[in-house]
Structure 1
Amino acid sequence: MPDFTAPTLPDDVAHPTGLLDTLLTMSLTAVAVLQPLYDEHAEEIRDFAWVRLNPAGQQMLGQPERPPATLLTLFPTAKEDGVFEVCRQAFKTGELKRYQTYYQADGLDGYFLLIAQRYADLLVVNFTDTNDRPRTDVEEALRQSQAREQAARAEAELRRGELQRVFEQAPTAIAVYRGPNYTIELANPTVARLWGRTQEQLIGKGLFEALPEVAGMGYEQLLDEVMATGNPHVAHAMEAQHDRNGQRETVYWDFVYVPTYAADGHIDGAMVVANEVTEQVRARQRLEQLNQELEARVQERTQALATQQALLGQILQQVPACIATLSGPNHQYTFFNEPYQRLSANRTVLGKTVAEVFPEVVEQGFIELLDGVYSSGEPFISRDMPAQLYDVATGQPELSYIDLIYQPLFNDAQQVHGILAFAIDVTEKVQSRRQAEMLQEAMLAATQRQVQEREALYQIFEQTPAAISLTSGPDHHYIYLNTACQTLFAGRELLGRTVAEALPEASSQGLLALIDQVYQTGETYFGTDQLLFFNGPDDTVGHSRYYDFTYQAYRENGNIVGICTFAFDVTEQFQVRAQVQQLNEELAAINEELLATNEELLDTNNQLQRTNRDLDTFVYAASHDLKSPIANIEGLLNALRDYLPTEVQEPMVPRLVGMMEGSIARFQQTVAHLTDVSRLQQGAEELSPEGLDIAQVLENVRLDLLPLIESTNADVRIAVEACSNIRFSTKNMRSVLFNLLSNALKYRTPDRPPQVHVRSHCSDTHLLLEVADNGLGLSEKQQSQLFIMFRRLHTHVEGSGVGLYLIKRMIENAGGSITVQSQLGVGSTFTVSLPRRPEALSARSSPLNQ
C-alpha cells in the first residue's frame, strides 16, 4: 500500500487569520481570553481583564463579548471559591490546569468544569456548566455537599455573631492574648474602657506595648508562668497603673489568667477575665488608716494619762495632807498616801472599806457622811472636826481634830462612782487655840484680880506656843510679850513702844486700824488665814506668813484699858489646804480632759461603726446587684451553646465557652460567699439557745461526707458529750462541723490513710469541741493567715477560702473562740469553745463512740 504524504500547505492556508474567530464563535463550550493585571510592584497578579468572551460564554455568564469590569469585580466570590487561584497558577506555570466547582454566587448556580492554559501573555479559559446535561451521582453528591457546607458556614457565621455580641456586652473585662509577646487578639469594650484605651489602640499590639505603664509590676511573670505551666492564676486586689481620664491612676484588679490552646493542643496564649475593685480596696485602706490613726491616738492619750497619773501619784505622796480615794457605795480604798496611812495607824489596805479600816468611827457618824456625799453628789467640808481615832501607843481611841473634805468623783455619765477624801490633822493647832482661849479667859479674869496675880499668869503665857502680847492705852504701847511673840519679832525692840512705832508695816496692812476698832468698840476681832508681812531687824527684808489671830479688849474696873493679841502661825496648814485646792482643780481638769478624750473616742468609735455598716451595706448591695448581670451572662452562654451545632464549631469555641462558664460559676460562688459574709456581719441570725444534739449533728455530717470518707479509707473516731443550753444554733453547728471535718479529709497526706478524731467536753461554763487530723499540717505563717477571707493556703484542692472565715465569725458572734495547733507533716487540731448560759445543767451524759 503506497505511503500517504500530507500535502504541504502555504502559511496563509495552514494558519488562516479567521480560524480563531471561527473556532471561538462555533465552540459549544464557553471560552474566555484573559489578560493578567499586576500589583503596583508588578510582582503578583491581583486580577484579570477580559480580552474576549465567546458567544457560549456570553450566554452562560450573561456578559458582553468584552466585559468592561475585571474578573474579580464581576465575580468577587471567585477568589474565595478557588477559581481565581487556578487561573493565576495556570498563567504563572504555563501548565494546563483543571478545576471543578459548584459555584453558587454572583448570580450563578451550577456545577462548572474549567480548563485554563497560558498562551503568550494571555490566559485561555475553557469552561462549561453541567446544569444543561444530566448530572452524575458524584456531581450530584458534590453539589449537595457544597450546598450543606454553604448553609453550615452561614449558620456558623450567625453563631459567631451571637458569641461576638455576648463578648462585646459582657460587664466583665475580657481580653485574649496570643504568642510570647502577648499580642492582644480580642478586647471587649469593658476592658478597653477600664484600661483607658480604645479597641483600635489595643487590637494587634503587644500587651505591654499597648499598656507600657503596667510593665514591671509583676504581670509579665504571672503570664509567663501560666503559659509555661498551663495552670490558671487567680489574683485578688492586685495593684496596677493605668493612664486614663488624662492622668495616671493607681487601680486594683480581681482577675484570672487562663491559658488558651491551639488546634494541636499546645498553649498559644492566655485569656484574662477581670473586675476592677479599686473602690473596695481604697475603702478598706481608708478603714485601716483610720484604725491606725485611732490606735496611735489612743496610745498617745494612754501614755499622756499614764504620765499625768504618775505625776499626780508623786504629788499626792509628797503632800503633807492625808489623801485617799474610795470606790463604790461601800467606800473601798483604791488609793492612799503615806500621811493617810499614818493617820490610820498603818491599818489602811487597798480593797478594804472605811468601816473595816476605821471601825471606831462608825458610831461617830463618818460612814453616814460618806453615804450622804455618795448619794447626793455634794461635797462635805468641815474644819476642826473632832474624831476618836485609834492610838498606837495606848491601844485605845484618842481624841483628835481634823480638817476634813469629802469630794465626790463622777464617771462619764456624771454619776458618782467614788469619793476623794482629804484630811489634815490639826490636833495641835486646836489644842493650842483651846489653850489660848483658856489663857484668854484666865487673862480676863486676872485683870479683875490683884496685880500680884499677873506674874503667875505671865508664867502661863510664857509656856503657850501662841504669840501673845499686851498693849495699853489708846496709843497701844507694848507692856508684855511672851517668848513666842518675842521670837516672832526677834531683833526688834517692842516693849515700851507703840504698835505704830515698833511695827510700822502693821499700819500699811490695816492691823492698827483693827486694834483701834477693838479698843473703841470692845468687840473681839478674829482673823483667819491672814497673810502678814513683817520686816526683819533694822528694817531688813523679813518674812510673810499666814496667821490666825485674835484682838481681845481687856478691862480694869469695867473700862477698856488695853488690847490682848493672840496669834497662831498657820502657814503650813494654809499651804496644805492650798495644795489640796490645787490638787482638786488639777483633778477636775484631768477629769474634764478624760471626759473629752472619752467623748472623742466615742465619736471615733461611732464613725468606725458607721464606716463598717456602710462597708457591710456596700458589700451586700454589690453582691446582690452582681447576681442579675451574672445570671444574664450565664443565660446568654447557655443560649449560645444551644445555637452552636457541635459538628460545625471551631475547636476554640467550646473551650472558650467552657472557660467562660467556669469563670461565671466561680464568680457566682464568690458573690454567694460575699452575701453570706455580709449577712453574718450584719447579725442576720439570732443567737438563741436551743436543744443542740451534737452527736446527732455530727452523725448527719458524717453521712453527708460518707463517700469522701470511704474513698479515702479514712479512720473517723467520735467521742462527744451531750451539753445543754449552748448559745449556738444547730444550723451553725452543722456548718462548723462540716467545714472542719471535710477540711481534715481534703487536706490529707498522700502517703498515709487519714485519721480524724472528733471530741467534745462540757464544763460548767463552756463546751469544748476538738477536731484533730494527721494531714498536711500548717506552718506558723500559714496559721496566722488561716482565718482570712478568700485566703487559700493549698491550691491542689478546690475551695474558695471563705469557709473558715465564716465559721470563725459565727463562733465569735456567739461569744466563743476557735484556735488551731498545727505542725507541718504531722497534722492539725482545731479547738472550738462555746459559752453556756448560767442556767446550764451540770449533769453530763456518757461519751458516745462511733
Structure 2
Amino acid sequence: MQDKNSKISELIELNDELENYFRNTIIPQLFVDSNLVLRKFTPPAMKQFKLHQSDIGKSITEVKDNFRFPSIVDNIEQVINTGELLEKEIQTIDMRWFQMNILPYIVMQENKTNGVIITFIDITSRIRDLKEQEKLIMEHELLLDTISHDIKTPLTSLGLTIEMLKKVPEKGMEKFPVLLEKIETGLLKIKGIIIDLTDARKTEHHYKAIEELLDIEQIVEDVRLTLASQILESNAIIKWEVAHSEIVFVRRKLRSVLYNLINNSIKYKSAGREPKILIKTYIEGDYFVLSVSDNGRGIAEDNLEKIFKKYERIANDVEGTGVGLHLVKEIVNLSGGKIEVESELDKGTVFRIYLKNQNPNISDGAADSSNKT
C-alpha cells in the first residue's frame, strides 16, 4: 500500500511539473494523442492560434483551421505512423512563417508512439531580415561593380585626353592652361569620390568584409529560410552532403553565392518535374569546393559563358535582373577562387565553386565529421 501511494505521489509530482512547464513556456506547443485528440496546449498557442480551453478533448480535425495551415493533420499522422521527427517551415494563410517541429511522444515501456508534441517558432521576422540583407548585398555589390567598371573606364580615358591636351601648342590660347587645370582638378575630385565609395565596405559597419570561420550548414539554413516561399511554391527538395563543413570566408558573400545558385535552380526548373537540388562540399588540392547541382532545364553549351555577363539573360520566361551569376563570379574571382559549370539540356546543371582553403585543420582527404544528407 505504501509502495502504491509512493508511485501515485510520484505521478502527481510529474504531472505538476508538466503542468508548470506548459503553463510557463513562451513557445506555442500542442500535445495531440494517437487518436488525434488535442490534450494540452501552452498559453502562447492559445494566443497565437486563438484556441480555447473548450478545444481540449476535441479532435485536431475540428480545430485545424485555427492554424491556417492545411496539411497539419497529414503531418501529425505521418509522425504518429513513422515515429520520426518532422521539421519544416510553414506559411500560414495570414502570410506568417513558422518553424514547426512535430516530435513523436513515445511510451518507453510499450515502445510505441502514443501521440505527438508540436512546437511552433515564429520566424517571420527572421525571414524578412534575411531577405532584406540579401537585397542590400545585391544592391551594394552592384553599386561597387558599376563604379569599378562603368565609371572608372571613361575617367581613365578622360585622364589620357588631358595628358594629350597638355602637349598641344599654347600659342593664341592664353586661357587654355587655366581651363585645363580646372578640368584636371574636377577629375581628381571625382576620382576621390569613387575611392571613398569603393572603400565604403571597409569603413561602414554593415558592409565590413570580415573573413571568419563559417559553418556551411548554417549558411545553407539561412539561404533556405530566405527562399522559403519559393521552395514551398515549387515543392523543391534540397539535400546536402557536407564532407567538410568549415570554411574561412566573408559570411554575406558566401551566403550571396549560395543564394543566387539555389535561387536559379528553383527559377529555372524543368516544367515536367519538381526541383531537386544537391549541395556538396569537399577538398580538392588547395581548394574548398562547393558544388550545387540540380535537375532543371539545363543550359546550352554556347550559353555557358554568357550566363556570367552582367545583365545577360538567356531566358525571358522567368523574372530576373541578369546580375546574380555575374556577382557570383565576381565574388569568387576576387577571393582568388574559380567557378566551373557543366550542364545538359533538360537534364540539369552543376556549378562548382573553388574557394581558397584557408582552414589549416582541413586538407585533401581529411574529412571532418559533419557528413549529412
TM-score, normalised with respect to structure 1: 0.20
- TM-score with structure 2 length normalisation? 0.44
Q: Which has the higher contact order (CA 8 A, sep 6+)?
A: 2
Structure whose alpha-carbon radius of gyration is higher: 1
